[in-house]
């Protein structure tokens, strides 16, 4: 056995041996359990064994840990008190002087345990250091309270209200006055130090994160239970028996936190403590209320306690379920009712993605929620903790997206109930995200339209200024020159007029080109079908005359919006041009039909459908024209040749 384990085991063994000997001496002195309770032998023994045992357990796992040492010191003070009571049992003959000394020591030796050790445990938990350097004075004041034991021992008159106070030492008046002044101050400081120690523990919990917070919740829970269980002393004014017997909850909880906190869920312990605490108060209140009510209303004597017991027994199960449900909602939200959680989140869809994330956090009591799409954060709510969980979102357009949620304080992973609830909540979150993405796409589309419009204006300005403007300027100059030379050199003037005519012809061609780029005139003159047929006759011909273009469309094609006509015309001409230029097709068919959308299909008989098409400027232009109208376009090889299909909505979607 290693020395690190031998020392705590030996310490515990000595403690148990001393206490066993004290009890043996107690019973040998013809005392009973009632006497042991009245003299605090029972409670002091329980304190000594439990604190020493938990301290030894901590030191066995963490040698030289300050919390373990404080537990052992706490138990040692109570062990000394128990030993004194055993010596006073009368089994061992003592002179009056020794008996008097042991009596005083037994009464006061335990005081440093709750006055010094317990506050230090709260201040130094869990790693044996104070919360910050500013809290060191509190630790120093706590250690200074060690003076309380000798002060109480030496003060004139002994310990107030103790049955053996008359056997305490009597000191000279000067010393008595000094000691008498110290005791009230020290006693007042005890309450202040204990309160400040609890505050230090609470602040450490508030500032901690993750696993350390789980550790700190254990002693905080123990302190809360200890205080709640002893509130009844204010009403009943009973002795400190319950107070002393519940105090070992603190070392038990602290030991679990240091040694085995990963094995037990403190949240479950707190949950059940609240539930059964509320039920206990409710049962007692209901019982007393029923008994008092029946006693006041009934003129004849009724067996009120029996009736009250029956009513409480019948109501206990539904009351427990109701209280458990309320506490679960308080701590975990609606995770045990995913449908209700999803409904509450769905009601917030109108508030946008930020409102939906807020609803998710409120529904499950989560500190943080965020949504990412394409690797970027779209929206967040709350402060991001260190530990987060990711839930995949399904978005209609296939955008990769995730819901990120922060875990509750002290959690290292989501529970199965939380995971099930989040899987259901992912649906409304995905809907809200889709709305945000569509809104962003709309803004981007508007921005592209504005940019394209401005770019088109710039191009028109450049073409008009650089092309048509310079051509008309040259025409003006040549007209002036021809006029000036008409009388002196008619031949030169005539040549200038011929040049002038050629320049005007070129300017007219530029104007027609600009107009055609804005909107092909054939669409206004012939309509979409006529424009395509004319373009097929005039432009789509090979030198060998073997390329044939056919336009297939019903005669009752409805009137089309101007934007749809232009897009369909441009897509069709680009698709046929690509087939003529890049393929080995001998024929091409343009098919048109309309319902709520215009269906445009261009098929050719070139290629074997194996080689994928390279996405160049032409294909990209066709896709953009379809997307601008809210339509879709697909293009690629088939087993019979190339195929381009566009679906163009006839009305804004």
Token code pair at residue 240 = 């400190």
Average pLDDT value over all residues in the chain? 76
Check residue 163 and give its pLDDT: 38
Q: How confident is the model at residue 261 (pLDDT cuts 50, 70, 90)?
A: very low
Backbone angles phi, psi at 398, to 5 degrees: 80, 5
For residue 166, name the pLDDT band (cuts at 50, 70, 90). very low
pLDDT band at 233 (very low <50, low <70, confident <90, very high): low
Residue 569 above 70 pLDDT? yes
CA distance 502 to 492: 16
Beta bridge partners of 403: 371, 391
Provide the edge-to-edge strand list for the sheet that holds 388-393.
376-382, 368-373, 401-406, 388-393
Write down the pLDDT at residue 161: 42
Torsion of CA 463, 468, 469, 475, to 10 degrees: 160
Q: Which tops the pLDDT comparison, 555 or 44?
A: 44
Q: Would residue 600 be called left, alpha or beta, if left means φ above 0 and alpha means ψ between -120 and 50 degrees?
A: beta
Distance CA 259, CA 251 (A): 12
- Highest average pLDDT, of 107-116, 209-218, 498-507, comes from 107-116
Q: How far is CA 292 from CA 235, 288, 297, 426, in A?
A: 19, 6, 9, 53
Residue 599 — very low, low, confident or very high, per pLDDT cuts 50/70/90?
very high
CB 457 within 8 A of CB 418: no
B/e letters for 470-488, b = 16+ CB within 10 Å, e = fewer, are: ebeebbeebeebbeebeee
What is the token pair recorded at 512?
Answer: 């027609």
Contact 28, 89 (CB under 8 A): yes
In the predicted model, what is the mean pLDDT of residues 467-479? 75
Highest mean predicted confidence (pLDDT) among 50-59, 274-283, 313-322: 50-59
Q: What is the distance between the alpha carbons of residues 408 and 402, in angstroms, rounded to a whole number?
A: 19
CB atoms within 10 A of CB 220: 23
Q: Does pLDDT of 167 surpass 50?
A: no
pLDDT over 80 (residue 610): no
Whole-angstrom Cα distance, residue 280 to residue 283?
5
Is the pLDDT reported for residue 173 higher than 80?
no
Res 77: pLDDT? 92
Give residue-wise pLDDT tens across range 318-377. Answer: 766 666 666 666 656 666 666 777 777 777 777 777 888 888 887 777 778 888 887 788
Is the per-residue pLDDT at 205 higher than 70? yes
More confident residue, 377 or 112: 112
pLDDT, position 552? 87
Q: Which of 367, 365, 347 minimizes the C-alpha distance to 356?
A: 347
Rounded average pLDDT over 141-160: 68
263, pLDDT greater than 50: no
Average pLDDT estimate for 629-638: 86
User: Can you tell me the mean pLDDT for 529-551?
Assistant: 75
What is the topology classification, in CATH, of domain 338-440? Beta-Lactamase (3.30.450)
461 pLDDT higher than 60: yes
**432 vs 466, residue with greater confidence:** 432
In this structure, the chain runs to a length of 653
Cα separation of 593 and 595, whole Å? Answer: 7
What average pLDDT does this structure show over 515-520?
A: 71
Domain boundaries, the chain: 1-110, 113-207, 209-262, 279-325, 338-440, 453-518, 526-649
Q: By three-state DSSP, how is residue 399 classified?
A: coil
- Long-range contacts made by residues 552-559, C-beta under 8 angstroms, separation at least 24? 552/589, 552/590, 552/591, 552/592, 553/529, 553/590, 553/591, 553/592, 553/593, 554/592, 554/593, 557/528, 557/529, 557/592, 557/593, 557/594, 558/594, 558/650
Say which CATH class 526-649 falls into: alpha beta
pLDDT band at residue 107 under the 50/70/90 scheme: confident
For the chain, percent of residues with pLDDT exceeding 90: 4
Using the predicted structure, report yes or no on whether residue 265 has a pLDDT greater than 60: no
pLDDT at residue 266, as a whole number: 46
3-state secondary structure of 633: strand
- The confidence band for 646, taking pLDDT boundaries of 50, 70 and 90, is very high
> From the CB of residue 88, how many other CB atoms can be counted at a distance below 10 Å?
23
For residues 87 and 154, the model is more confident at 87
| H/E element, 531 | helix 521-538
Higher pLDDT, 278 or 421: 421
Beta carbons of 594 and 650 less than 8 angstroms apart: yes
Confidence band for 196, pLDDT divided at 50, 70 and 90: very high
The mean pLDDT of 259-285, rounded to a whole number, is 56
Q: Which of 283, 278, 220, 230 is nearest to 250 (CA)?
A: 220
Angle between helices 266-297 and 210-229 (to 10 degrees): 20
* Its pTM surpasses 0.75: no
Q: Please list, residue by residue across 108-133, b when 16 or more beta carbons sit within 10 angstroms of its beta carbon and e when fewer do.
A: bbbbbbbbbbbbbbbbbbbebebbee
């Amino acid at each position: 056995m290693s020395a690190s384990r031998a020392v705590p085991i030996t310490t515990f063994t000595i403690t148990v041996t001393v206490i066993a000997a004290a009890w043996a001496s107690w019973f040998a002195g013809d005392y009973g359990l009632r006497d042991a309770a009245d003299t605090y032998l029972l409670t002091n023994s329980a304190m000594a064994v439990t604190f020493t045992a938990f301290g030894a357990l901590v030191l066995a796992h963490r040698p030289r840990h300050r919390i373990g040492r404080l537990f052992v010191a706490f138990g040692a003070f109570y062990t000394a008190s128990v030993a004194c009571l055993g010596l006073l049992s009368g089994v061992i003959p003592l002179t009056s002087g020794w008996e008097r000394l042991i009596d005083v020591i037994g009464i006061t030796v335990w005081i440093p345990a709750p006055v010094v050790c317990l506050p230090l445990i709260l201040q130094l938990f869990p790693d044996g250091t104070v919360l910050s350097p500013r809290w060191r004075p509190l630790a120093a004041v706590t250690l200074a309270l060690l003076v309380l034991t000798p002060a109480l021992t030496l003060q004139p008159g002994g310990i107030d209200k103790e049955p053996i106070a008359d056997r305490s030492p009597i000191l000279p008046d000067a010393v008595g006055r000094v000691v008498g002044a110290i005791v009230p101050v020290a006693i007042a400081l005890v309450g202040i130090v204990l309160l400040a120690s609890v505050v230090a523990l609470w602040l450490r919990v508030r500032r901690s994160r993750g696993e350390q917070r789980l550790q700190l919740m254990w002693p905080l829970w123990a302190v809360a239970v200890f205080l709640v269980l002893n509130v009844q002393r204010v009403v009943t004014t009973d002795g400190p028996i319950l107070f002393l017997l519940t105090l070992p909850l603190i070392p038990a909880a602290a030991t679990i936190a240091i040694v085995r906190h990963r094995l037990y869920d403190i949240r479950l312990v707190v949950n059940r403590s609240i539930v059964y605490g509320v039920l206990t108060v409710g049962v007692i209140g209901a019982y007393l209320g029923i008994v008092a009510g029946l006693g006041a209303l009934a003129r004849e004597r009724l067996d009120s306690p029996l009736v009250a017991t029956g009513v409480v027994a019948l109501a206990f199960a539904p009351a427990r379920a109701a209280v458990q449900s309320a506490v679960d909602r308080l701590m975990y939200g609606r995770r045990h009712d995913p449908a209700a959680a999803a409904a509450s989140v769905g009601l917030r869809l109108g508030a946008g993605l930020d409102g939906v994330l807020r609803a998710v956090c409120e529904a499950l009591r989560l500190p943080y929620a965020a949504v990412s799409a394409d690797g970027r954060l779209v929206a967040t709510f709350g402060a991001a903790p260190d530990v987060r969980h990711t839930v995949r979102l399904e978005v209609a357009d296939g955008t990769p997206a995730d819901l990120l949620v922060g875990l509750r304080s002290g959690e290292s992973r989501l529970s199965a109930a939380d995971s099930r609830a989040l899987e259901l909540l992912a649906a409304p979150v995905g809907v809200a995200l889709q709305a945000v993405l569509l809104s962003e796409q709309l803004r981007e589309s508007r921005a592209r339209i504005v940019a394209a419009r401005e770019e088109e204006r710039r191009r028109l300005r450049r073409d008009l200024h650089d092309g048509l403007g310079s051509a008309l300027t040259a025409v003006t100059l040549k007209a002036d020159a021809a006029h000036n030379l008409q009388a002196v050199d008619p031949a030169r003037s005539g040549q200038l007029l011929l040049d002038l005519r050629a320049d005007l012809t070129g300017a007219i061609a530029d104007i027609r080109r600009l107009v055609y780029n804005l909107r092909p005139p054939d669409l206004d003159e012939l309509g979409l079908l006529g424009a395509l047929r004319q373009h097929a006759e005039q432009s789509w011909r090979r030198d060998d005359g073997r390329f044939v273009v056919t336009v297939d469309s019903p005669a009752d094609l409805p009137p089309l919006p101007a934007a749809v006509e232009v897009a369909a015309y441009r897509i069709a001409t680009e698709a046929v041009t690509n087939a003529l230029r890049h393929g080995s097709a001998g024929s091409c068919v343009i098919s048109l039909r309309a319902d709520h959308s215009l269906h445009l299909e261009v098929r050719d008989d070139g290629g074997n459908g194996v080689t994928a098409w390279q996405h160049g400027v032409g294909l990209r232009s066709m896709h953009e024209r379809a997307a601008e109208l809210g339509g879709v376009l697909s293009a690629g090889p088939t087993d019979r040749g190339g195929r381009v299909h566009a679906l163009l909505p006839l009305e804004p979607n």
